[in-house]
Structure 1
C-alpha cells in the first residue's frame, strides 16, 4: 500500500478519534481505513492504536509516530499548495508602498501595462517616503531606494540611481560653482526633510573621504520634485537622485553643480516578506519590474 496514504489514514483516525469519522473525513470506506492502518502497523512491527468497542486511542509509540507523521503530511500539503500556487494565474489585490518621487515618476507609468497583462490583479499603491513594516504590516511589497535592512525580507535589485548635486545655469552664473565641499557653506542649499541623516548631506570627496555638510537653507521640503522645481527656478543647490533629475539635466534646466564629486550610487529594490513561496501576484510584479528597469540607471533614466 502507499506509504503516505497509510500515514494519512492513521493520523486521521487519531485526529477524528475513530475509524468511522476518519473514513468520512477521507471519503473512503471504514474497512479501507482499517486496512491502511493495519498495513502500517505490520510494516512497522508495532501497535500504534489501542482499539476498544467504545474508543480508539494511540499507544505511546503511536503518539510519538503521530507527531512525526503529522509533520510529514503537513509538509506534503504545503508542497502541493506550492505547486498549485506557482501555476495559478496572478489575482487579487496587491498593496504596494513606494517613495513618492519614484512612484510618481517611474512606477505609476508602468502599472498601466502591468494591469493590462494581469487583468485579475488590482493594485493599491501608497506613496510613503518612510519605510513601512512589511512583516507585520498590510503591504505585500515595497520599492525602496538604498540597501535593504536586516529584516526578514526578500529583495530583488531593479536598478541603480546616483545622487547628483544640481543647480540652474542662472544660479551658477550668479553665485559661482562650488569647487570644494567646504565651499557649500557659502551657497544656498535646498534640503530634503525626510532624510534619515537629518539636515545633513553625506558626501564623498574626490579623495574618497566621507564628509557631512549641514544643509540649513532657504527651503526644506519632504518632496523631491519640489526641490527640483526650486533648483530649476534658481533658488539654490539640491542633492537629488538621478532618476528624478535626469531629464532636467538633459534639457539643460539644471547642471551638475560639482561634477568632480564622486557619485553616491544607491540600489533600487523590490522587497517583500520572506516565505516558503511567493504569491503569484507579487512574483508577477517583481518579474515585470526587473524586465522594465533592465536598461535603467544609474545615470540613464
Structure 2
C-alpha cells in the first residue's frame, strides 16, 4: 500500500464527507476509495471513519489523524514545490476557482495563452460566485473581485488588478425616464442590482467635492452580473457594472454611461492562495502571467463618449 496516496484519499473523504465525491474528484472508483481507507485503518490499527448507509462521520482518532495527514501532505507538497522552484520548471495540476462572469469573460481568454506558454501545467477551473475554502475544496488559487479590504485569514490575498464600475442604461430607457443629473436622482430610477456584490444596495460615487453613498432599489436583484446586464439591455433600468462586462455595449452605443462627473466605485481583483513557506511555481507563475495579461486586456476606463 502506498501510505501517502492512501492518506491523500482519506483526507479528501473527510473534507468532502463522501466516498463518492472523493472518488469523482480523484478520478477513481468509490470501491477503490473505500479499500484505500480500509487498508489505511488496518495499517494504523484504528477505526478512522464510522460508516452507515446514511451517514459518514469521523472518529476522534480519525479527526486527529486527519489533521496530521494534512500536515504531512502539505510538507510533501512543499518539498516537491521547492524542487520545482530550483529547477524552474512549473508542472502539475493547477486548480483555480474564480467568479462566474469574470471567469467566463476574461479568465477563459487568458488560460489558453498560459497553457501554450507552460505546457507541463494542467488546469482545472471551477467558476463559482460563492466563497470557497481553498484547502478543504482542494484549490491552489482563487480569483475574487471584491472591495480592496479583505477580512484577516490564514490565506494570502494579493491584489493583481483594479476593476472600475460604471453606471449605465440604454438610450431607450433614458429617453423614457430621463438622465439622472445627481447621485440622489438615482433613487427615482429602477436600479438593477447584482446582489452578491459587496455594494448590493448602496452605490457610492465620488467627485471633486467628495463621496456620496446612495441607497438604491429596483425590481431586479440577481446573483449574476450577466443577468443584470441583460435586464439593462432590455431597457429595464440603471445598472452599476464592471468595465469588462459592459465595455463592448458602451462602444456599440447600446448602453450609455451616466453621471460623467462622478467616479463610481473601484473593486479589486485578488489572487488568494494558502499561506505556505514555498509557493508552487505553477501558482506564482500563473499569478504573474495573469497580472500582465490583465494589464494588457482589462478595460480600465472610458472617455465621456464611451470610447476606451
Report matched runs for 1:189-268 at 5 Å: 189-198=191-200, 200-206=201-207, 207-215=209-217, 217-268=218-269
User: What residue in structure 2 maps to residue 106 of structure 1?
Assistant: 106
The alignment partner of 1:151 has SS state of coil
Question: Which residue is equivalent to 1:116?
Answer: 116
Q: Distance in 2 between matches of 1:274 and 1:221?
A: 33
Q: State the alpha-carbon separation in 1 of the partners of residues 78 and 238 from structure 2.
A: 55
TM-superposed deviation, 1:136: 4.2
Contact 1:189 1:237 in 2 (8 A): yes
Instruction: Provide the C-alpha distance between the structure 1 equivalents of 2:267 and 2:79, rounded to a whole number of angstroms.
Output: 39
Deviation at 1:119, TM superposition (A): 2.1
How big is the alpha-carbon RMSD for the aligned residues of Structure 1 and Structure 2?
2.4
Which whole-Å CA distance do the structure 1 matches of 2:138 and 2:151 have between them? Answer: 19
| Displacement after TM superposition at 1:190 (Å) | 0.9
Aligned to 2:83: 84
CA distance in 1 between counterparts of 2:227 and 2:78 reads 50
Structure 1 Cα separation of the partners of residues 171 and 246 of structure 2: 14
Q: Deviation at 1:272?
A: 1.0
How many Å separate the matches in 2 of 1:142 and 1:100?
12
Structure 1 unaligned runs (5+)? 1-76
CA distance in 2, matches of 1:247, 1:78: 43
Aligned residue number for residue 274 of structure 1: 275
Could you give the per-residue CA deviations for residues 232-281 of structure 1, whole angstroms, max 9, x where no partner exists? Answer: 22111111011211221111110112222222122212221121111121
- Is the 1:162–1:299 contact (alpha carbons within 8 Å) kept by the matching residues of 2? yes
Per-residue CA deviation, residues 40-99 of structure 1 (Å, 9 max, x unaligned), is: xxxxxxxxxxxxxxxxxxxxxxxxxxxxxxxxxxxxx99986652302522222111111
State the partner residue of 1:299: 301
Q: Which residue of 2 aligns with 1:179?
A: 181
SS in 2 for 1:103: helix
In structure 2, do the counterparts of structure 1 residues 209 and 137 end up closer, same or farther at CA, with 3 Å as the change threshold? Answer: same
Partner of 1:188: 190
> What is the alpha-carbon distance in structure 1 between the residues aligned to residue 115 and residue 300 of structure 2?
27
Contact 2:203/2:216 (8 A) holds in 1 = no
Aligned to 1:141: 141
Partner of 2:14: none
| SS state at 1:281 partner | helix
2:203·2:265 contact (CA, 8 Å) conserved in 1?
no
TM-score in terms of structure 1 length: 0.67
SS at match of 2:210: coil
CA contact (8 A) 1:101 1:225 kept: yes
Cα distance in 2, alignment partners of residues 158 and 212 from structure 1: 28
TM-score normalised by structure 2 residue count: 0.66
Structure 1 ranges of 4+ moved more than 3 A: 77-83
Aligned residue for 2:160, secondary structure, equals: strand
Q: Compared with structure 1, are the counterparts of its residues 281 and 184 closer, same or farther at alpha carbon in structure 2 (3 Å cutoff)? A: same
The 10-residue stretch of structure 1 (203-212 or 126-135) with the greater mean CA deviation from structure 2: 203-212
Higher Cα radius of gyration: 1
Is 1:129 the counterpart of 2:129? The answer is yes
Q: Aligned equivalents of 2:235 and 2:153: distance in 1?
A: 41
Look up the SS of the partner of 2:143 in the other structure: strand
Alpha-carbon distance in structure 1 between the residues aligned to 2:299 and 2:124: 26
1:165 aligned partner: 167
Task: Give secondary structure in 2 for the equivalent of 1:294.
Answer: helix
* 2:89 and 2:281 in contact (8 A); partners too: yes
- Change in Cα spacing, 1:117 to 1:182, as seen in structure 2 (3 Å) is same
